[in-house]
Amino acid sequence: MKYLITIVGPTAIGKTALSIALAQHFECEIISCDSRQFFKEMTIGTAVPNKEELEAAKHHFIQNISIFENYTVGDYEKEAITKLEELFQNNDYAILVGGSGLYVDAVLKGFDEFPEIDTSVRERVAKEYEQNGITYLQQQLKEADTNYYDKLTIENPQTLQNPQRMMRFVEVCLGTGKPYSSFLNQKKNNRNFTPILIGLEADRAVIYNRINQRVEIMLSQGLLEEAHSLYPNKALNALQTVGYRELFSYFDEEFSLAFAIEEIKKNTRRFAKRQLTWFKRNENTKWFDYLTPKSEIMNFIEKNIKK
């Protein structure tokens, strides 16, 4: 039996430290599923594990691509599963860790298969979005797949503000003449491992305080300078993320620096709230307070492993 020990939870909760402790205990390697940490050019603002942490356990999918590459969650799924198959040849355990819920789901469950969409449709949707903004995409999805639009409105409203996701929904609808949701849950993805899901949580006030502290630490480490070096490429999809977007507005003289910093903290707190909402949907996750001794978490895992 192969086990994928999966650690989830909101940003700044301590997932990295726990993953390293578990990797050392089970003598295995770590697969990162933090979509912000994939990019070579982004270090401080994405809280990439430091040199000592990376040396303490073998990590995969940390700063492995460039912001200039087109890298999708589907690409990640294929590469992560291939890497896990390789790791499981010599080990019964591997660690999956990160706060990107969609990417966690990609590894644990896989995605539904969609037909190829004609390039002309994709270009037309992208052009319409460029000219008319996110409301165009929302209206198109509402008309082409009302049920899915309503579902997102209730369960995942932030997705309706995500241009990349929305363009994908709309191009599938227009390119196939069928609702996007009609392609969901059509295929079962077989996995050759058993997941053991561990969640870290804390009182909201504690999480928010840890986030505020992390932002201050990032600034002291040079986040402002890192963001400035990336500013010429601010339109890239990889850079449409909290911590950089707000500082780009400062460079554009839309925000004062003090306001930009407060916006980073506020938007990170909102992100953490969305992360918890996403991860709490999985009833198979065992939640621990972030201060729980690592030995207690290891004991729980050991009890769920069939020797």
Residue 13, marked binder = yes
What DSSP string describes 106-158?
HHHT---------HHHHHHHHHHHHHH-HHHHHHHHHHH-HHHHHHHHHH-GG
From residue 73, give the alpha-carbon distance in Å to each of 101, 148, 186.
11, 20, 18
Residue 11, marked binder = yes
287 and 296 Cβ atoms separated by less than 8 Å: no
Find where tokens 């201050």 sit.
216
Q: Residue 40 burial (CB < 10 Å; 0-12/13-18/19+)?
A: middle
Residue 106, marked binder = no
Give the chain's end-to-end CA distance (angstroms, integer): 8
From residue 41, give the alpha-carbon distance in Å to each of 68, 69, 239, 248.
10, 12, 10, 16
Residue 94, marked binder = no
Residues 93 and 76: their CA atoms lie apart, in Å, by 20
Residue 297, marked binder = no
Residue 74, marked binder = no
Find where tokens 């050392």 sit.
24
| CA-only gyration radius of the chain, Å | 20
Residue 195, marked binder = no
Residue 175, marked binder = no
Q: Which residues contact 282 (CB under 8 A, 6 or more apart)?
A: 197
Residues 180 and 146: their CA atoms lie apart, in Å, by 10
- Give me the count of residues in the chain: 307
DSSP three-state, residue 258: helix
- Binding positions for ATP are 9-16
- Binding positions are 9-16
- Binding positions for substrate are 11-16
